[in-house]
Amino acid sequence: MKTNSSLLIDEAPLFVPLDLAGAIGLNEAIILQQIHFWISVVEQEGDRSKFKDGRWWVYKTYAVWQREFPWWSIQTIQRTIRSLENIELLLSEQYGLSDKDHTKWYTIDYDALNNLLDQRDFNT
């Protein structure tokens, strides 16, 4: 009996909670989960330059996000991030050191996310 497949990989899979995907959409849940992952990395590293306004933040360009999600176009990533911003689960700011630096920094409004999930009835 074969115990592997070229369609399955031996690297960390991408996990997305079903409740989260059901509440906000699959693409949004994937991006939000990945941003949460990177926030936890930044927090563990303790890089105080990424702690602003009482929150931990991460930043990446759309091109870098696309390297993490190569199955999506940059437009899909932009649209998904805008969707998360519009429902106010994803906060974004520009903390650039110069007027030419338009890098977007991201963090999650965990209170808003918890409120959203508390309001949903996942038993129906």
Domains, in order of start, for the chain: 18-119 (1.10.10)
- The structure's pTM equals 0.84
Cα–Cα dist 87/85, whole Å: 6
Q: Residue 100: pLDDT above 80?
A: no
The three-point CA angle 116-119-123 to 5° equals: 115
Average pLDDT over residues 73-98: 93
Residue matched to tokens 């693409």 = 27
Query: Residue 99 pLDDT > 90, yes or no?
Result: no
pLDDT above 70 (res 11): no
Mean pLDDT of 40-45: 93
pLDDT of residue 121: 62
- Give the up-direction half-sphere exposure of residue 52: CA atoms within 13 A in the CB hemisphere: 15
Long-range pairs for 115-123: beta carbons < 8 A, 24 or more residues apart: 116/23, 116/24, 116/87, 116/89, 117/19, 117/20, 117/23, 120/19, 120/22, 120/23, 122/19, 122/22
Which band of pLDDT confidence, cut at 50, 70 and 90, is reported for residue 123? very low
State residue 94's pLDDT score.
86
Residue 86 clears pLDDT 90, i.e. is over it? yes
Is a pLDDT exceeding 60 seen at residue 124?
A: no
Q: What would the two tokens of residue 110 be?
A: 């965990």
